[in-house]
Amino acid sequence: MSAQRKFDGIWFEPAPWVNGRYVRSDATRCIVNPATGAKLAEVHFANPQIATEAIDGAVVAQRSWKELSAFERGNILKTIAAELIEQKDKLATLLTAEQGKPYWQSVGEIDYAASFFQWYGEEARRISGRIASHPQRDREFVIEHLPIGVVGWITPWNFPLAQGAKKIAAALAAGCTGVWKPAESTPLIALAMAPLFRSAGVPDGVVQIIPGEGPQIGSIMIDHPEVRCISLTGSKATGSKLMAGAASQIKRVSLELGGNAPFIVLPDADLDFAVDQLVQLKLFVTGQVCVTANRIFIPEDLHEQVLERLIGKLESSKVEDGLNDSGLYRVDAGPLIHSQACIGVDALVEEACDSGAKIAYRYVFGKGVRSKSEGSFYAPTVLSHVVDDMRISKGEIFGPVFAIHTYRTVDEVIQRANGVSQGLAGYVYGTDLSVCRRVARRLDVGIVGVNEWRPLKAEIPFGGIKESGIGSEGGTEGLSEYMRVRVISFPTD
């Protein structure tokens, strides 16, 4: 068995967690800190045998997990929330080292993850069925809401803890068990959750955690007849493959995929406020967020005023190692997840410039801080003269590039905002709230923030339309992803 590792006070092993113990495999992957390139751990990746054992173990564990009362399951979930909060600082340090986001954002991610365990811990007790009338006098229908069974949870690297928490909290509340496959580059925070789950009272086998290669583990989940639902947060390409594979056994899929959010600044917006919020949104996780502002729409005659404010804000931002963050000193953005991501973002920018876009500003890294040469940093960039038919406007940038579009009328901007194949999030900034409401209601997306850059919370359903996905996470709706319905027609006497 691989040795236990201590990361800033958290003990766990960098190996798959199956049936209550860490198991070693023959394949390992080196996990590095994207800000420095420093090696963090050599992680054992699950092979097909370990992945199958994990699913089989979750099948066995589900028999007793679903028999617990909803009250008992809920209490365990609320204990997980409490433990996350208690260990927040240590977990946040690990999260920043592995993912690269500034420490304060990692703290926020732990809080956010805990809020889902808390919410679904409460919501578990509200799962109920109903009695419906039968056309015959001497009968009635009993409508039951039951757990769907064993679930495969597949998560990305940008919110490596919170994306797992959303899925696991809802599924466990519903009475499901499952297998969590974190992203290849960020498995450590998931594996660090194993001892926490155990000490919170989660029985062995209920949550299996298996780092591994996506396509390999994905096809094992697809082929295993006892996996009844696969819940992915990831790219459209992966979503399409999983959906096609799941079709052979008619498995349920829940897909949270990429976005292409419009950020609409209305003519009467408070520009200082809108730009301040835009910078927070866009630098959050260095632009590597599905709901980030991908296309920024500015009224034509406000273009210069917005650029001036935006550049002023970015000049005073700090882009460096997220672990430099402390109570007194706030890092605004960290590195991208790996150097390949920098190359991809750069290609989008170059291509846009070849078609007429202009670099209005590029951040200059300061002296004495981690720079591009050491980690996978990409300088925040303001790109003006961006138009709709450029590749940068059609899909996710996933980097700190502010792509500025201009518009003339509100009707025009709504039409252009909706003219893409994704529909996840949108933002509307203005002072006349009746206009804001009218614009928000016409956006073809799953969630709109009016004068708010981060509306996502555990209490509400979040999910995309069009190529952004199927299903919801959060809120009461998030539970139904993991439930099935059974109806029994009963004689009344």
Residues of the shown chain interacting with ligand NAD in the complex, contacts defined by CB under 6 A: 154-159, 163, 181, 183-184, 214-215, 218, 232-235, 238, 241-242, 256-259, 290, 396, 424, 464, 469
- At residue 67's C-alpha, the angle toward residues 471 and 51, to 5°, is 60
Pairing verdict, β 358-362 and 381-384:
antiparallel
Burial of 460 (0-12, 13-18, 19+ CB in 10 A): middle
Among 53, 83, 123, 290, which one carries the catalytic annotation? Answer: 290
Name the residue nearer to ligand NAD (CB basis): 158 or 177.
158
Distance CA 401, CA 294 (A): 8
Name the residue nearer to ligand NAD (CB basis): 149 or 258.
258
Residue 379 backbone phi and psi in degrees, to 5: -70, 125
Distance CA 147, CA 157 (A): 28
Q: Which residue has the tokens 């009467």?
A: 268
User: Shortest gap between Cβ of 399 and ligand NAD (angstroms)?
Assistant: 12
* Start-to-end CA span in the chain (Å): 60
User: Shortest gap between Cβ of 300 and ligand NAD (angstroms)?
Assistant: 30
User: Shortest gap between Cβ of 239 and ligand NAD (angstroms)?
Assistant: 7
Say whether 86 sits in a helix, a strand or coil. Answer: helix
User: Shortest gap between Cβ of 295 and ligand NAD (angstroms)?
Assistant: 14
SS3 labels along 360-408: EEECCCCCCCCCCCCCCCCCCEEEECCCCCCHHHHCCCCCCEEEEEEEC
Give the distance, in angstroms, between the CA of residue 138 and the centroid of all CA atoms in the same chain.
50
Name the residue nearer to ligand NAD (CB basis): 174 or 425.
425
Give the dihedral of Cα atoms 77, 191, 166, 148; nearest 10 deg: -80
Residue 310 backbone phi and psi in degrees, to 5: -65, -45
Name the residue nearer to ligand NAD (CB basis): 214 or 430.
214
Say whether 143 sits in a helix, a strand or coil. Answer: strand
User: Shortest gap between Cβ of 80 and ligand NAD (angstroms)?
Assistant: 21
Name the residue nearer to ligand NAD (CB basis): 221 or 413.
221
Q: Which of 268, 267, 273, 293 is closest to 426 using CA atoms?
A: 293
Among 256, 320, 396, 481, which one carries the catalytic annotation? Answer: 256
- At residue 238's C-alpha, the angle toward residues 296 and 421, to 5°, is 35
229 labelled catalytic: no
User: Shortest gap between Cβ of 395 and ligand NAD (angstroms)?
Assistant: 9
226 labelled catalytic: no
User: Shortest gap between Cβ of 156 and ligand NAD (angstroms)?
Assistant: 3
Which residues are tagged catalytic? 256, 290
